[in-house]
Structure 1
Amino acid sequence: MPKVSIILTSYNKHEYVGESIKSILDQTYEDLELFIMDDNSNEETLNNIKPFLNDHRVTFFKSETQTIDERVAKTRYAVLINEALEKIEGEYIAYATDDNVFHMEKVEKMVNYLDNNPNVQVVYSASQTDYINEKGEITNSIVRPAKAIQWLAPCVIDHCSIMHRKTILPVIQKTFNSIWDENPQFYKIGDARFFWKINHFWPFYPINEILDFNTITPKSIHAQIQNAQPNEFARKLPPQRMCKELRDSLRAMKRLERK
């Protein structure tokens, strides 16, 4: 049984998905399994995934989702993550996307932190995000630091920057009747919604090193939703919930706890 399970979600990013998978399989820490959860990508993307499927640590799943209406009915990456969570075996869980690259020591450092701090349920690292235009040029680059024990994780910590113990999942499921929220109102901030659930019980502990690298391209969900001329997918999405709502509710909860 592997100690770490990593869930990577994929959809039509042939330019990046191979590098993302390789960065996980080339980790200095090898006792891991990788679930590649693909949302019925195009042939070019699938061809870039296939070379990695011979690795015994890899499990591959491809959905049958086809239409735009199917894609906006639920937050698709949340659906895929929830399906993977039913199958994983690892004691620790981490997440990746098809445009995210892990530092080669990321898993090792996070495992060591959790092993050495048995009371910590969630650890996160600093991360770097590059914004790329249609020409493939980097137009902006930002670093999210990891300096504080974080009770307000939504929209402060990145999807791919965390590792948590599997044992938190039954608590989340029992409390909220779901783990990752599939409501399409959270397409833009699905990770923030998950972190909001976690912060009802536990803080996120920091490793202040950049251990993952993200790319926001014109294909990214955030870019599509914020585009001045949104595509059909973005136009059909329901109004999106906001970070402020999640963070304000956590602040209110903490104020009540102090009374």
Structure 2
Amino acid sequence: MRRGWLLPLFAVLGFAFLYLPIISLVVFSFNESRLVTVWSRFSLKWYGELFADPQMLGAALLSLRIAAISSTIALVLGTLCAVALVRFRRFRGRTALTGMVSAPLVMPDVITGLSLLLLFVAMETFFGWPAGRGELTIILAHTTFCMAYITVVVQSRLSDMDLSLEEAAMDLGATPARVFFDITLPIIAPALISGWLLGFTLSLDDLVIASFVSGPGSSTLPMVIFSKIRLGVSPDVNALATIIIGIVSVGVLGATILQMTRPKVNRT
């Protein structure tokens, strides 16, 4: 009898621990007071302050642009890597490729950021590219670690896919490219969307790696927020966080609905 209420209680406490701070942040973003923990009255004042801050808006647009570009590139490369690992069981370099995919997942961000910084410095010395550190180096760095996560997501979906569908299409005369775009791609589309959203979120959230590979004039949103909260949390940060939470929630909800409503494949 005790087990019947302990498990729901622990679940409620766990979710409350995770989501109550986020709810509090959203609520206090509509607070008129400058003190982020003292409620005065409802106001949209800090949203106006946010949209009047060129530094914050510039950093937000830069982070969104970097996240969109890096997650898109990582999606293409990660999908190709997942197809190679799942469909081509034995090929030269498979072990090395598997290790390169797994390394960013377990390697600390400090090590990843430092190694990429040294790589970019060496490339600039020998090849002259990339010239300095900035938006391009951040995109390259974020693509590197986002690709590993997307590869794992797509690889798990490909592993569960029924190969008889592709074999039937090829028996009917379809070329491998036609099979991929007409059969494989629509089936793994929910995994591609989920992987892209995961890469977008990881890129948008990154602070450590971006701090190593960024340069003057290329401060991302997490870097700007981190520098601001060292002097105290400003309510406009709460407003910006609320907007980001809303955008991400809509994206995750859309991906979930798409995955739940996709047609199930009969494996009989």
Quickly name the TM-score band, shorter chain normalised. under 0.3
Taking structure 2 as the reference length, what is the TM-score of the superposition?
Answer: 0.24
Taking structure 1 as the reference length, what is the TM-score of the superposition?
Answer: 0.25
- Whichever of the two has the greater Rg, that structure is 2
